[in-house]
Amino acid sequence: TQRARAGTETSLHIPYGGGEGEKLDIYLPRDTSGTFPLLVYIHGGYWQCLSKEESGFAAPPLVSQGVMVAAVGYDTAPKGHMDIMVLQVRRSLAFLVEHYSVYLCGHSAGAQLAAMVLSTDWTEYGVAPDIKGAVLVSGVYDLEPILHTYVNDALKMSREVAQRNSPMLCVTPPAPMAAACEVLVAVAQHDSPEFRRQSQEYGQALRTAGWSVSLMDLAGVDHFDIIEKLSEESYVLTQV
C-alpha cells in the first residue's frame, strides 16, 4: 500500500459518516477530466484485523487503466460488532454512489460485507445506487458455522446476529437499478472445503433469485494469494 500511495494520486481519510472509523482512501487515475469507473474495495481479516491502510495493494494496475479505487475503512472487532460493520459498509456505498457508478470488490470477511450491500433496502439511505458489478472473493456467506470457533471470540455474535448478517439468508431479487449488475463469485482452488461450498451455494442462491452471476474457480491459489495477486496486472482477476 505504501508503494501504491507513493506512485498514485491519493485522497486519504475521507469521512463517509460521523464515526471515527468511518473513513475511506481514494486512489485516483492521472486523467480525472472524463468519467471513470470506481472500484470499492472492502478488506477481509475475519472482521478483526487489517484496515483500509493495507488495502491499496490492488490500486496501481487498476489506476493505470483509468479505474479509481476506494478502500473502505470500518470498525473491526472488538470495537465494532457485525451489525455496525454491515451498516458502515452500506453507509460508505450510500456516500459514494451519490457521485459515481461503482463496482464492488470484497475478500473473505469483506466479501460477506460486500454481499450484504447487495441485499440492502436503499430506501432507508435515500439513494438508488448504480452498482454495476460485484466481485466477491473467497467469501463467507453463512456466518452460523463460525459461531463456535475462535473467530467469534472477538465478534461475540449471537445466533440472531449471525443469521441476519448472513448473505445466504438475505438474498433478495435485484432491485430495478441492479438488474444489470453482474456478480462474480470467485473461489480459490486451495480454499477450504467450507469456503468452496459456501461460494457455490451463495452463487446459486443469487442466480435463482434473478441475479446475473458467474462463478470462477481459480487454479493454483489459496485463500490469501487469490486477492494479493491483484497487485499484478497480468493476473486473471485483475484483468476481469
Catalytic site positions: 108, 191, 223
Which residues, at least 6 apart from 187, have a Cβ–Cβ distance to it below 8 Å? 137, 138, 195, 196, 199, 200, 215, 216, 217, 218, 226
Name the β-bridge partners of 70.
26, 40
Contact 155, 82 (CB under 8 A): yes
Q: Is the dihedral of CA 208, 224, 150, 47 positive or negative?
A: negative
Name the β-bridge partners of 218.
188
Contact 60, 53 (CB under 8 A): no
Nearest to 181 by CA among 95, 113, 112, 101: 101
Please count the other Cβ atoms lying within 10 Å of the Cβ belonging to residue 46: 18
